[in-house]
Structure formats: C-alpha cells, structure tokens
Amino acid sequence: MTPDDIRNLFDLQRQASRAQPDVPLMVRRERLLRMRKLLDEHGPALAAAVQADFGMRSPRLTEVADLFVLRSQLAHTLRHLARWCRRTRVRTPLFLQPARGWIERQPLGVVGVISPWNYPVQLALAPAIGALAAGNRVMLKPSELTPHTSAQLAALVSQFFAPDEFCVVQGDAATAALVASLPFDHLVFTGSTAVGRRVAQAAAANLTPTTLELGGKSPAIIDADCDMADAALKIAHGKLLNAGQTCIAPDYVMLPRGSEAAFADAFRAAVARLFPYFEGNPDYASIISPRHLARLRTMLQQAQTLGAEVHAMEPVPGSPPPPPQGIGDGVGRQMAPVLVFGATPGMQLMQEEIFGPVLPVLSYERLDDAIAHINARPRPLALYWFGRSEAVQGDVLRRTVSGGVSVNDTLMHIAHDNLPFGGVGDSGWGAYHAEAGFLRFCHQKPVLAQSRWSLGHLLYPPYGARFDRIMALLRRLMQGGLNGQG
C-alpha cells in the first residue's frame, strides 16, 4: 500500500463521516455484531498468526489475554450502548430558565489506531471497538513486528467491513509515521514513551487529540503483613504472562528490608508452579525477536558488572526435556525468569521499562521510603500493593499517582468492564474501556434550547438602574444557593 493509497483511504473515511455525522444506534450495533462474528469465526486463525509471529506463544494465552478480553468488551458494550448513546439532560441555572440544556454524544469522525506487537489482537481491536461503538470510522495500523497477525487482521477486517467503515494499513515505521501525520479526529497510540512523544508531536500539527498508552516502570509494593506466598504467585503471574512483555507487568518489587530471602523462595516456588520448565514450554511465550532478547541480556550483564546479584530460575527437576529445535522457531528465545537484587538507579534495568521476565527487587526501611522512591520518578501505568491493612492501603493510594491500581493482585484492573484504562504523565494520557472509552471517542456537544418565555432580554443594554437591580437580585439568589438557602 503506497502513501497515496493510505491518504485516499483516509479521505474516503473522512468523507463518509462528514456525510453521516449522526450514526444510528442500529448501525453501531450491527458493526459491533460483525466484530463479534469476526472473532467467533476466526479466533483460532488469529491465535495461530500470533503463534507464528512469536515463534512460541500458546493459542490458549492468546485466547485469554486477547480474544477473551475483546469478547468481554463487546458483550459489555452491546449491553450498555443504548444508554451510552442517549442525550444527557442537565439542570438549567435559574437565570437561564425556562430554557433547557442537554449534552449530545456525537461521533468524532475518523479515529486512527496505531497498535503494538505484544498483544497484537487485543490492543488493535479494543480501541477500534470503542471507536465504532461511538459511531466513528477507524483506520488501524498494526505493528510490523507481528506481520502474520497484521496480515490476518487486514484480511479479516476487509472481509467484514467496508473500507469507509474500518480498514487496516500495513507497513513499517515509516507507514506508522505517515498515519500519525494524518488529520484524524482522534488518534490512539499504544507503545513506548519515546515513540509516543513523536506521535503526539505529529498529531499536534493537525490539532488531533490523542490517547497515549505508554507503559512505564510499574512497581509492586509488598507490605510487611502480606501473605508472601500469595503475593509472590500473583507477581510471578503478572510478570511472566507473555514473558513479561506486558505494558502493566510489575516492573520491579519493593519489600521490607530483611524479607528478601523469603520473597526469593516464594517467587521461585511460584515460578515452578506456573512454568515447571521454560524452553519448549508452550505456555511460556518467547521474546518477540532476537534484538529484544539481546537488549534484555545486555541489561543483565550491565547490572552484574555494576554489582547486582542475578538469580536465574531453574526448571523443576524431572520436568519435560527441551524439545527438538524444529518445534517453533521461538524456543531459543524463551528466556528463563530472573530475579535481580542490589539494583541501583544507574543501571539500565532501573531506567527503562524492562518488558521481559527480569524482576529487580528493591528493599525499603519504611513505607515512606518506598512511596518517596515511586514519587521521585515518572508516574507509572500501574501500581500494585500487597498487604492486609486497609489503613496502609489507603495511605498508598492517596500518596501515589498511577494510571491504575490492583490491590492484592496484578493486571486484573484491566479486565474490569466498568473501569477505564489508561496512563498518567509519562505513562500516557486518556483512558478507554467501558463508558470512559465510549466518551473518549465522542464529542459531547452542549445544547441550550431557549424558551419563548426567556427573560434574557432583561440583561441586554442599555444598562441602567433596572440592570443593577436585576444583577443584585441574581447575586442574592446565587449566594443563597451556596449557603444552602435556595
């Protein structure tokens, strides 16, 4: 697809959106039902494409982390769409009565989506579902690092949708840059903070509003009174799902000084329970590419050189032997989980989002120290707290800012149908999922319908004594309302 082809597709969608600014509820529902049919009929083919791109990633992992999440989102959206689409009436202040006011929820027009490779189905289609529900047209640019999945998405979307409704454009980083430069009515980007800055700059040239989901170094705080075995299991699951290639994976752990050995033992037991072996284990994803694997190994080498203790997890004795190399070209990229003790701020793994199965463990003397450490750094996409005390939990929630939080668990806040999902500060801006996502892709147009009995003319010039009396009366009425007297 040439740059001119992409621009022509965009023009087609833009013209369609301008020709039909108001998209009926029936049309929106029918588009969502087509999306559900696409997933129901071709979910296995999409999972096979993801497996081909990773080299080793279980279709069952794609089922739970990509397809199930999308099916849940679709069911929730279809259930609530009629209510979300209704105009919202608002109270009219006394000085404007008997006029009426309300908010119309209208489609923005054309929404662009630039999606990443780590959950290449979910993170491509989830924002598209929200945008279609809000009545928009959608242009999707999936990642070039998952070419099989991107090609499958392009073929399926063209089968189930007209190009002026929803289309997929494929290509490399230059294609993504071109898409980011188009004058969308809204642009969604999921990826690294560095690339997110460039996307925001390109969008700003067109005054295109953006939703950026950028990741970051999400901490997991362990309180002294927590159930260590339970915390370690949930942290291991959150860290090792998709081999750590998850934007809200715990990036590092903070725990009370003196409990390092207890956590290491509990984490090792949790890993053995979840993944008795790594190489050849179909449940354990491979690192997406040799380049990404080399980056992780370089991080570990630097940490060791600077004095950190690196503890790689070992397979459980007696677990199945490594399979022949011919079974999946990603077997050689299935990196064993690693704990790192003694990490310092100057190490690369404490400066960048890790995005792999490497977990630094930091110690704190007091909870205040842990909170100060988090607050001295860019705001994370997620924060996790483990403990029993509601008072301490409330203290952590009040004194930290993050995109989202799971208490006594990891990842699960993203699966809650009624919770928005997004970042804050360096981890992004804007949120989608649920009604918040629907509203993100709407223009909430305020409308005032004036009454024939309007008294607004009393405030017209020429000003004089009557105007002064009316303004004095209005001030008294407003002050009375503030004092609970009106």
What is the spatial order of strands in the sheet that 358-364 belongs to?
A: 309-312, 338-341, 358-364, 252-256, 219-222, 382-386, 404-407
Q: SS in 3 state form for the chain? A: CCHHHHHHHHHHHHHHHHHCCCCCHHHHHHHHHHHHHHHHHHHHHHHHHHHHHHCCCCHHHHHHHHHHHHHHHHHHHHHHHHHHHCCEEECCCHHHCCCEEEEEEEECCEEEEECCCCCCCHHHHHHHHHHHHCCCEEEEECCCCCHHHHHHHHHHHHHHCCCCCEEECCCCHHHHHHHHHCCCCEEEEECCHHHHHHHHHHHHCCCCCEEEECCCCCEEEECCCCCHHHHHHHHHHHHHHHHHCCCCCCCEEEEECCCHHHHHHHHHHHHHHHCCCCCCCCCCCCCCCHHHHHHHHHHHHHHHHCCCEEEECCCCCCCCCCCCCCCCCCHHHCCCCEEEECCCCCCHHHCCCCCCCEEEEEEECCHHHHHHHHHCCCCCCEEEEECCCHHHHHHHHHHCCCCEEEECCCCHHHHCCCCCEECCHHHEECEECHHHHHHHCEEEEEEEECCCCCCHHHHCCCCCHHHHHHHHHHHHHHHHHHCCCC
247 is annotated as an active-site residue: yes
**Of 165, 213, 260, 353, which one is the catalytic site residue?**
213
Count CA within 13 A, CB hemisphere, residue 440.
Answer: 28
Which token pair is 105? 């929820």
Prior bond to 462 cis, omega within 30? yes
**Of 85, 167, 226, 247, which one is the catalytic site residue?**
247
- The residue type found at 116 is P
Cβ 55 vs Cβ 282: under 8 Å: no
DSSP strand pairing (309-312 vs 219-222) = unpaired
226 is annotated as an active-site residue: no
Name the residues annotated as catalytic. 213, 247
